[in-house]
Amino acid sequence: MMDLKKYMDITPEIAEAVAAGKPVVALESTILSHGMPYPQNYEFAKGIEKIIRDLGAVPATMAVINGRMKAGLTEEELLLMCENKDNQVAKLSRRDLPIALAMGKTGATTVATTMILADLAGIRVFATGGIGGVHRGAETTMDISADLQELAHTPVAVVCAGAKMILDIGLTLEYLETMGVPVLGMQTEDFPSFYCRKSGFKVDYAAQSAAEVAQIAHTKWACDLQGGMLIGNPVPEEYAMDYDYMSKIIDEALADAKEAGIKGKATTPFLLAKIVELTGGDSLKTNIQLAYNNARCAAQIAVELSKLG
Ligand code: PSU
Ligand code: MN
């Protein structure tokens, strides 16, 4: 067993909540440093933590600071992630983690890395905006997010608003099926597509409540069916964007990325920033509201899971 204290700082509040079996919800930091502009991301970071607290759960925002894994950030550390001055905050996926830890670097955690840190800290529920997935054209680029492998292996339930249409949503769901990851919809049969409530692709099961999701997660882990689960929680109706409008915006963002020769880990941050720009900031409002909505859903799932022991 690794000596966790050697590499990770868990705030006393989070450590005590986990030890007592109380509800805790993990949050990622790449959505802050590489997914939203400053200062809206800082307001968002504090807002999402408050939503989780108000529902009786403890928020645990994850990051790596000066080579240490952090579960729970101070206001200063949150600000550091959000400001991302001179791009000094790296984007850390699983492959980047040992390098950052050994070399004393600072970086934000993606969905994959947040799941790793959550698991180490004993946290089973995580709220984000959208997950990474199989990119369009992956049959030639092989660009498939490490988030999907993490969902296959790491026992954390991830609440998202689906996957953005920058990805191939059909192939993303095929990959998750191959990897044995249950994909649930929160009161929806249709896997959501982030800005829009539908994608045209079906989930494996439309859960009717947070209690049902908790029951399925509890059963999965009780039966030693390792790995994570994905919960697609559609953006609230009043914040949803028009499907045809967003399809055009995303095609334009993808064309711009191609022209600029963007590749590898820069792809997703480039596309996210481009979409905010092309929608004149409208997509950012939707992004913030859907993530708040996911935090509410995740907090409720964490509360229900804590009752199952
Ligand atoms: N998709 C979004 N918002 C995000 C991300 C993805 O709609 O902020 C971030 C998440 O941190 C996710 C990461 O884990 O991008 C995926 O990056 P990549 O595609 O390089 O694996
Ligand atoms: Mn990639």
pLDDT tens for residues 235-256? 999 999 999 999 999 999 999 9
Give the pairing type, strands 68-71 and 58-65: antiparallel
Task: Give me the pLDDT at residue 29, please.
Answer: 98
Of 121, 145, 148, 111, nearest to 32 (Cα)? 111
Amino acid at 121: A
Mean pLDDT of 142-159: 98
Average per-residue pLDDT in the chain?
97
Q: Which two tokens stand for residue 31?
A: 């959505």
Q: In which region does residue 72 sit, left (phi positive, over 0), alpha (psi from -120 to 50) or beta (all else)?
A: left
Pocket mutation for ligand 1, best pick of 41, 48, 111 (most atoms within 8 Å of C-beta) = 111
CA 151, CA 173: separation in Å to the nearest integer?
Answer: 12
Q: What angle do CA 123, 190, 234 make, to 5 degrees?
A: 55
- Ligand 1 centroid, distance to 161 Cα (angstroms): 12
Amino acid at 85: K
CA 35, CA 131: separation in Å to the nearest integer?
Answer: 12
- Assess contact for 297 and 233: CB atoms under 8 A: yes
Residues having CB within 6 Å of any atom of ligand 1: 28, 30-31, 35, 93, 110-111, 129-130, 132, 145-147, 164, 194, 265, 268, 272
Q: Is the pLDDT of residue 230 over 80?
A: yes
Mean pLDDT of 212-241: 98
Task: Give me the pLDDT at residue 1, please.
Answer: 73
* Nearest ligand, CA 142: 2
Task: Give me the pLDDT at residue 111, please.
Answer: 98
From the CA of 28, give the closest atom in ligand 1.
11
From the CA of 31, give the closest atom in ligand 1.
8
* pTM of the predicted protein model: 0.98
Of 36, 90, 43, 44, nearest to 64 (Cα)? 90
Task: Give me the pLDDT at residue 22, please.
Answer: 98
- Assess contact for 116 and 153: CB atoms under 8 A: no
Residue 309 confidence class, pLDDT cut points 50, 70, 90: confident
Per-residue pLDDT reduced to its tens digit, 51-75 = 999 999 999 999 999 999 999 999 9
Residue 158 confidence class, pLDDT cut points 50, 70, 90: very high
Q: Which two tokens stand for residue 79?
A: 């600000």
Residue 2 confidence class, pLDDT cut points 50, 70, 90: confident
Peptide bond between residue 269 and the one before it cis (omega within 30 degrees of 0): no
